[in-house]
Homo-oligomer: A and B are copies of this chain.
């Protein structure tokens, strides 16, 4: 782990939460002062399954993967965390130990806010709390996995879903082809889709032959984005919309 350093200004979704609450400048500063930014390298763990949840994490840059290991160390990933996204809030508010490990897929700048300060602010400012309620209620954490797995959806379709999920930014010109860089290994894709790396390789080959998505290392070229969406819609999507109870 690289030496910590203070960092002025709050990044991530948290800034948005603050804007929506009527938090005075003094309290924002209080939060800023306790924030710690640390830089982690690829494959390094940000927090580990089983460890106490001592605070809230936020990615300033880079990508991380959340996965859970069973007693046989069989890993099941269920969320890709991108720049600006928070993580660790479920165990924070659930008052549980971390039930998943966060591992850096690429080099990351990670913000950390101590539990005590976050909970205090949540208690004091209803507007701030309400934003967290929304985040928690809409959290796709385990839902990402649900969306992507499910036996009756073929691996090919699950892979397409993942591509569409990773394509949030506007790296796609409206008509032309679309180039996407996946921040993870085949092994990680497999863990996310609840499949084996071999099955992923076969699905990738198939998509390439059909001219739907051409993989070259971690770079994916998608000639026609519509062709992807068409295919997911024609398949059975068991949890297409958000599954909010």
Q: Give me the interface of A with B, judged by CB distance under 8 Å.
A: 66, 68, 70-72, 74, 76, 78-79, 87-96, 98-100, 119, 122-124, 126, 129-130, 132-134, 136-139, 141-143, 145-146, 149-152, 194-195, 233, 236-245
Contact between chains at A137 and B91 (CB < 8 Å):
yes
Nearest-CB residue, chain B, relative to A69: B238
Neighbour of A94 across the interface among B93, B100, B137, CB < 8 A: B137
- Is the pair B123, A130 in contact by a Cβ cutoff of 8 Å? yes
Q: Given B68, B130, B238, which contacts A74 in the complex, CB threshold below 8 Å?
A: B238
- Give the residues in chain B near A95, CB-CB below 8 Å: 134, 137
Q: In angstroms, how far is the closest chain B Cβ from the Cβ of A50?
A: 9
A70-B236, A71-B233, A239-B68 in contact; A99/B133 too (CB < 8 A)? Answer: no
- Whether the Cβ atoms of B237 and A70 lie closer than 8 Å is yes
A165 to chain B, nearest CB (A): 16
Shortest beta-carbon contacts, A-B, top 9: A94-B137, A93-B137, A123-B126, A93-B133, A90-B244, A90-B245, A136-B136, A76-B238, A94-B138
Contacts of A70 in B (CB 8 A): 236-240
